[in-house]
Chains A and B, each alone.
Chain A
Amino acid sequence: MKTEPALMSLTSVARAIADKQVSSREVTQSCLDRIARWQPHLNAFMAIEAEDALKAADAADAALAKGARRGVLHGVPLAHKDMYYEAGKVVTCGSRIRRDFVATTTSTALQRLKDAGTIRLGSLQMAEFAYGPTGHNVHYGPVHNPFALDRITGGSSSGSGSAVAARLTFAALGSDTGGSVRMPAHFCGVTGLKTTMGRISRAGAMPLSQSLDTVGPLARTAEDCAVLLRLMAGADPADSTAISGPIPDYAAATTESIRGLAIGVPNAFYVDDLDEEVASALDATIAVLRREGANVVKVELPDQRQLSAASQLVLAVEAAAFHKRWMIERAQDYGPQVLMRLQNGLAIPGVSYLEALRWRGQALAAHVAAVANVDAVIAPVSPAPAPTIAESDVGNSPDAEAVIQRLTRLTRPINYLGLPALSIPCGFTRGGLPVGMQLIGRSFDEATLLRVGAAFQRATDFHERLPKLP
């Protein structure tokens, strides 16, 4: 095979392994070679398990030679955000507190990917306890953006965004509580799917906010996300919030035309105060969708600032509640910014927290009514491309919370509504920084988002651009 295997998409490499055009060992070694070259520049991996990965690859090749294909991703090496429990493995959650924590169970999402035949390359860096949108981590160092090493990756799934963009792994699990899949996807130029609340089990995934946490993949294409979602979705006895019911054939949806679909463009909030190059990318994306046959119309959404505020109230309280014991016993082991944000939850009265949860159904109903005539809404992920690591290193300074809220203002409302959203690469700035857009859908209608994303990616090549080593 002439192509460097690590540069293939998830679906392409899985087919190539199944057809014995390339071995799992060759694919795994290709990823490990890239990791060896890129890791010193990116700091994307928390742990690299080269020897075990090659052993697993050899076992996968031997099984395939005997006709035993474990699943659709047989022999495909992956790495995931270091918050998905795998029995017997250290899972740091990006923290000092869990530096030596060894999981005794395996998360449902991870187990389902393993059951499909994936093998483990190691684990990926993340913001401490998934509570940070930039990619900084005071314990393990910042993760760097492959397209500009002095720039942030976004977070909290910082290693996932960086590693997928640099082609160190074919895909990676992230988690999205306030934008943590979509932000790294936007800043690093990859495809990221924030799933509907309830679509994928969260059992065995580190919690941050039980009302807002969602599991989702970052990958190179919408088609790859579709394959991963199909494998992970569905009910789970270990998580009562994971819904039952039929799971669509998401991959089939990605082959469909978008002719006749209606795409809504918000007339405010999401289009206010945008960086000029993000605004241009939005216009260009809309033009492509029109050329592909979509009807693009304006939509007037309810007040998104209220949704964002409700999201903040819920997140602050739930995060503080999860962390209360450690806030008392091990406050000195938190990074200053994470401790600062956890302390915010102490200031929210119980009545305010419950009001924010009680309003959620009404707010979703109002949103549903506002988008009744469209199949999806398109909006920027963040108002600007990636800032530098230095300028966004605000720690626990007095204006830190304001900086964080500005960065995530376009993603938080979607978590409050529990809706799915797909971030797709849709351009590059003159300085070479990726720009992404989020497609926001109806509850449990990831299929339409993946369909639109795939159609866009057939018409453009932004998702295929490779970062270069310095």
Chain B
Amino acid sequence: MTRPTAKEIKAMADVAGVPVDNDVAARIANSVGPAFDAFAAIAGTLPFDLEPSTFVVVQTEKAAR
């Protein structure tokens, strides 16, 4: 997982239907970059069968004493 570039962000925003100019795209890249960096160790490593709903299972069955 690598942080998106300003050019890539501009293309993504266009596809999303909310176009942004070059300056905004550069600012977004600067803002979200650290989150991508910090999550890089997790991204691409999760097991195949893991679903988002496991959170609720853990929350209700394991987390509460």
Q: How far is the CB of A91 from chain B (nearest CB, A)?
A: 25
* A443 interface residue (CB < 8 Å to B): yes
Take A340-B27, A355-B42 as given contacts and tell me if A443 and B64 are in contact as well, using a CB distance cutoff of 8 Å: yes
A contact residues around B12 at 8 Å (CB):
346-347, 349
Q: How far is the CB of A20 from chain B (nearest CB, A)?
A: 41
B contact residues around A405 at 8 Å (CB):
34
Take A358-B52, A360-B55, A362-B54 as given contacts and tell me if A346 and B13 are in contact as well, using a CB distance cutoff of 8 Å: yes
Task: Pick 11 A–B contacts, CB within 8 A, sort by A.
Answer: A309-B39, A324-B17, A328-B18, A343-B24, A347-B9, A347-B29, A361-B58, A368-B62, A368-B63, A443-B64, A445-B65
- A: number of interface residues (CB 8 Å): 49
In the bound assembly, the distance between CA atoms of A239 and B40 in angstroms comes to 34
Cβ–Cβ contact B60 & A243, under 8 A: yes
Cβ–Cβ contact B32 & A445, under 8 A: no
* A278 interface residue (CB < 8 Å to B): no
* B22 interface residue (CB < 8 Å to A): no
**Which of B's residues lie within 8 Å of A, judged by CB?**
1, 4, 9, 12-13, 16-18, 20, 24, 27-32, 34-39, 41-44, 46, 50-60, 62-65
Cβ–Cβ contact A401 & B1, under 8 A: no
Contact with B along A18-38 (1 / 0, CB 8 A): 000000000000000000000
Q: How far is the CB of B5 from chain A (nearest CB, A)?
A: 10
A contact residues around B34 at 8 Å (CB):
309, 402, 405
B contact residues around A402 at 8 Å (CB):
34
Take A328-B18, A358-B52 as given contacts and tell me if A344 and B31 are in contact as well, using a CB distance cutoff of 8 Å: yes
* A364 interface residue (CB < 8 Å to B): yes
Cβ–Cβ contact B18 & A327, under 8 A: yes
A contact residues around B64 at 8 Å (CB):
442-445
Among residues of A, the one whose C-beta sits closest to the C-beta of B50 is A358
Among residues of B, the one whose C-beta sits closest to the C-beta of A339 is B24
A contact residues around B20 at 8 Å (CB):
343, 346
In the bound assembly, the distance between CA atoms of A336 and B18 in angstroms comes to 16
Among residues of A, the one whose C-beta sits closest to the C-beta of B47 is A362
Most buried by B among A309, A316, A324, A419: A309
Cβ–Cβ contact A352 & B39, under 8 A: yes
In the bound assembly, the distance between CA atoms of A196 and B60 in angstroms comes to 11
Cβ–Cβ contact B46 & A365, under 8 A: no
B contact residues around A354 at 8 Å (CB):
52
Contact with B along A276-319 (1 / 0, CB 8 A): 00000000000000000000000000000110111011001000
A contact residues around B27 at 8 Å (CB):
340, 396, 398
Contact with B along A386-417 (1 / 0, CB 8 A): 00000000001010111001000000000000
A contact residues around B43 at 8 Å (CB):
352, 355
Take A309-B34, A346-B18, A359-B46 as given contacts and tell me if A364 and B39 are in contact as well, using a CB distance cutoff of 8 Å: no
Q: How far is the CB of B43 from chain A (nearest CB, A)?
A: 5
* A238 interface residue (CB < 8 Å to B): no
Q: How far is the CB of A451 from chain B (nearest CB, A)?
A: 13
A contact residues around B1 at 8 Å (CB):
352
Within 8 A of B (CB), among A350-381: 352, 354-362, 364-365, 368
Take A306-B39, A405-B34, A444-B64 as given contacts and tell me if A361 and B13 are in contact as well, using a CB distance cutoff of 8 Å: no
* A348 interface residue (CB < 8 Å to B): yes
8 A-B pairs besides A347-B32, A364-B58, A364-B62 with CB distance below 8 A are: A196-B59, A309-B34, A346-B12, A346-B16, A346-B28, A352-B39, A362-B46, A418-B59
Cβ–Cβ contact B55 & A418, under 8 A: yes
Instruction: Tell me which of B16, B29, B52 contacts A360 (CB under 8 A).
Output: B52
In the bound assembly, the distance between CA atoms of A305 and B41 in angstroms comes to 11
* A166 interface residue (CB < 8 Å to B): no
Which 6 residue pairs spanning A and B have beta carbons closest together?
A361-B54, A309-B38, A443-B63, A401-B31, A360-B55, A357-B52
In the bound assembly, the distance between CA atoms of A362 and B63 in angstroms comes to 12
Cβ–Cβ contact B9 & A346, under 8 A: yes
Q: How far is the CB of A242 from chain B (nearest CB, A)?
A: 12
Among residues of B, the one whose C-beta sits closest to the C-beta of A396 is B27
B contact residues around A305 at 8 Å (CB):
38
Q: How far is the CB of B11 from chain A (nearest CB, A)?
A: 10
* A198 interface residue (CB < 8 Å to B): yes
Most buried by A among B35, B42, B52: B35
Among residues of B, the one whose C-beta sits closest to the C-beta of A198 is B59
Q: How far is the CB of A328 from chain B (nearest CB, A)?
A: 6
Take A398-B27, A442-B64 as given contacts and tell me if A359 and B17 are in contact as well, using a CB distance cutoff of 8 Å: no
Cβ–Cβ contact B59 & A355, under 8 A: no
Most buried by B among A352, A396, A445: A352
